[in-house]
Amino acid sequence: MVFLTAWYGLVELGRLTAGESVLVHSAAGGVGMAAVQIARHLGAEVYGTASPGKWPALRATGFDDAHIASSRTLDFVEKFRERTGGRGMDVVLNALSGEFVDASLRLLPRGGRFVEMGKTDKRDPQRIAAEHPGVSYQVFDLMVAGPATIRRMLDELMALFASGALRPLPRRTWDVRRAPEAFRFLSQARHVGKLTLSIPQVPRLDGTVLVSGATGTLGGLLCRHLVTAHGARHLLLVSRRGPDAAGADELLADLKALGADVSIVAADLADPDAVDHVLSMVDARHPLRAVVHTAGVVDDATVESLTPDSLAAVLRPKVDAAWNLHRATLDRELTAFVLYSAAAGVFGGPGQGNYAAGNAFLDALAEHRRALGLPAVSLIWGLWAQASGITGHLDTVDLRRLERSGLVALGNDEALALFDAAWRSERAVLMPAKINTAMAASGAPVHPLLAALVRSASRRAVAAEAAGGQAFVDTLRALPADKRERALRDLVLSHVAVVLGRGDSAGVEPTRAFRELGFDSLTAVELRNRIGAATGLRLPATLVFDNPTPAALAAYLATQFDFADTAADRSAGVGRELDRLEAALDGLDPADDEFRRITDRLHGLLDRLADRQADVVGDDDLESATAENIFDLIDRELETS
């Protein structure tokens, strides 16, 4: 339809020929992109307008910057007039309105053909001819051409497609159940090329089902479920170790006992050649119908500490394998393409920079496949109660940390029921997970993405926590320096105890290294987040590694506050100076001449201090002197000694 419309406007009505110049408005739209191809086939010089956000799409079709202008401003008039040396255009294919129509007419100074296909701002052809000599103006509708003309144009177009002179337009596909979103997207002119609606396919398991990571814990559970709940009978199971993987023999025996025909293959799906080899093993009598990619590993690290090796360890089995499976199955009639993602990709898993990125890629790949009209769903799993290769290393501390973040473990039956509900969805990305909506009551920070899900009481707790940082700073400001240090140390120890899952901080040794206490990159980032929320400070992800003990961390925090020197600070300072002086005097010999000289000085100091106190308060009682009086007196005495 778009090529017929563009052909009718440019060839039948516009009579565009080789060597002429044509301006195509909305050149990134459906008819616009078709018109660009037809005009270039005819040998015309093509200029196009589009919103700046779509210029990359125009450049991808062969436009250079000299032939592109914005459809949001009138700057295209001067730009294209200058580019053509004042000649302007021979044909304008218009889809704009208002002042853009008037501006486009000024680009026909030598006369020409103005073909109006937008029809949102129709003009009088006679008036146009009078105001713009030599310009013909025509509004058109494709159906006016009639069946005979349409058939003739269609024959010509099909021949051009067959020869490769014309190519189908890029398109974005929406599940018909999301039609309102698609029309909203269209109304906002956010599309490039065409939008299409697809009828949803019901996943069919009457052929072969390929499962990656099949010998893993979750992969094995899924394989048994596909056979028992969905009647799958032909399974091609792939993992890096294949038949040699732990539990592979048991899985194979169970599936065969259930009546399934099963092959277990060892392959590195991150290698495209290995993927091709695996697919060549699919029996033609049972064509590939579904792919489920469950493979994945973790290698926890914060973003700052990631290395090429730690990236590759996670991204190869998850990202590269998924992409290779996508590419290799483009010509297969799949009815399901399921990706096992994880919550780290949505929440930005702290301490899992590589794992979070890998899962985010799977979510994007599912959206990409759906936009191409291909089946896909990415399941962003929350926490499973069943320990797996990814979660098997988690101890009680780790599980409590995840619960504090809001994720509650799913039982196997719950998780598989969610799988059944999700893989037929019209959505490309879904998050099957159990969320604790009362998480904020525990005092743990609530992720912004979950803020709207927590109960009102929890939201009040979140607000109180946000104010708590300033309240803590105000409390510190009122304390003397030595007590500030103690308060910060107590704060650190209390949060360390929470992160480690201990009842209180009594058993946490301030000078013991965090690593010895049981911290890893995940708990380290949680501690950073908790202390940041409590103090209102913006702290680095490497906070715990840069300050390796609770005492060192408390000392670092003390340097992050800018408190003015207060009377309480000065009083504490005088006390510390007197403590040091007393310790020094204890080491002197009373028979020594130096001892007598110092004693005389101290008597003189006390006399002057008493006189100064009498001047200030009218009393010669030294005990009534303030710490500030004493501090100033000692300063002056030391300066003159």
Ramachandran angles phi, psi of 289, nearest 5°: -115, -30
Q: What is the pLDDT of residues 263-319, one digit of tens each?
A: 999 999 999 999 999 999 999 999 999 999 998 887 877 777 888 998 999 999 999
Among 362-366, 445-449, 566-570, 613-617, which range has the highest average pLDDT? 362-366
For residue 619, pLDDT over 50 is answered with no
Asked if pLDDT for residue 459 goes beyond 80, the answer is no
- State if pTM tops 0.85: no
The pLDDT, as a whole number, for residue 394 is: 55
Question: pLDDT of 361-376, one tens digit each?
Answer: 999 999 999 988 899 9
pLDDT value of position 445: 62
> Does the domain made of 458-558 have the CATH classification 3.40.50.10860?
no
In the chain, the percentage of residues whose pLDDT exceeds 90 is 50
Instruction: List, for residues 181-205, the tens digit of each pLDDT value.
Output: 999 988 888 888 889 998 887 888 8
pLDDT in tens, 427-436: 999 999 888 7
Q: What pLDDT does residue 560 have?
A: 85
SS3 451: coil
Q: Residue 385, SS3?
A: coil
Compute the average pLDDT of residues 616-620: 49
For residues 214-237, give the mean pLDDT.
Answer: 93
Q: φ and ψ at 382, to 5 degrees?
A: -80, -150
Write out pLDDT tens, residues 103-152: 999 999 999 999 999 888 999 999 999 999 999 999 999 999 999 999 99
Band of residue 3 on the pLDDT scale cut at 50, 70, 90:
very high
Q: Which residue has the higher pLDDT, 467 or 444?
A: 444
Residues forming CATH 3.90.180.10 domain(s) in the chain: 2-163
pLDDT beyond 50 at 102: yes
Distance in angstroms (rounded) separating the CA atoms of residues 299 and 320:
16
For residue 17, what pLDDT is reported? 96
Q: What is the dihedral angle through the alpha carbons of 550, 554, 555, 558, rounded to the nearest 10 degrees?
A: 170
pLDDT band, very low/low/confident/very high, at 576 (cuts 50, 70, 90) = low
Average pLDDT of the residues of the chain:
85
The CATH classification number of 208-435 equals: 3.40.50.720
Distance set, CA 311 to CA 175, 268, 303, 324 (Å): 34, 17, 10, 18
**pLDDT of the residue at 631:** 59
Q: Are 113 and 13 in contact (CB under 8 A)?
A: yes
Checking if the pLDDT of 617 tops 60, the result is: no
Summarised one tens digit per residue, pLDDT across range 511-522 is 888 888 878 777
Domain 2-163 annotated CATH 3.20.20.70: no
Structure confidence at residue 518 (pLDDT): 79
- Distance in angstroms (rounded) separating the CA atoms of residues 69 and 62: 14
Over residues 96-105, mean pLDDT: 95
- 237-251, 388-402, 423-437 — most confident range: 237-251
Q: How far is CA 378 from the centre of its chain?
A: 15
Type of residue found at 280: S
Q: Comparing 50 with 423, which gets the higher pLDDT?
A: 50
Q: How far is CA 122 from CA 8, 125, 497, in A?
A: 18, 9, 74
Distance CA 268, CA 152 (A): 53
| Spatial separation of the C-alpha atoms in residues 385 and 399, rounded to whole Å | 10
pLDDT, position 448: 74
Residue ranges of the chain that CATH labels 3.40.50.720: 208-435
Q: How confident is the model over 392-409, as pLDDT tens digits?
A: 455 565 556 666 667 788
DSSP state letters, 168-214: PPPEEEEEGGGHHHHHHHHHTT--SBEEEEEPPPPP--SSEEEEETT
pLDDT value of residue 463: 46
Q: Check whether 524 has a pLDDT greater than 50.
A: yes
The per-residue pLDDT for 461 is 46
Mean pLDDT, to the nearest integer, of 237-243? Answer: 93
Lowest mean pLDDT, pick from 405-419, 500-514, 579-593: 579-593
Q: 7-21, 315-329, 578-592, 610-624: which has the minimum mean pLDDT?
A: 610-624
* Per-residue pLDDT tens over the stretch 107-118: 999 999 999 998
The pLDDT of 48-76, averaged and rounded, is 95
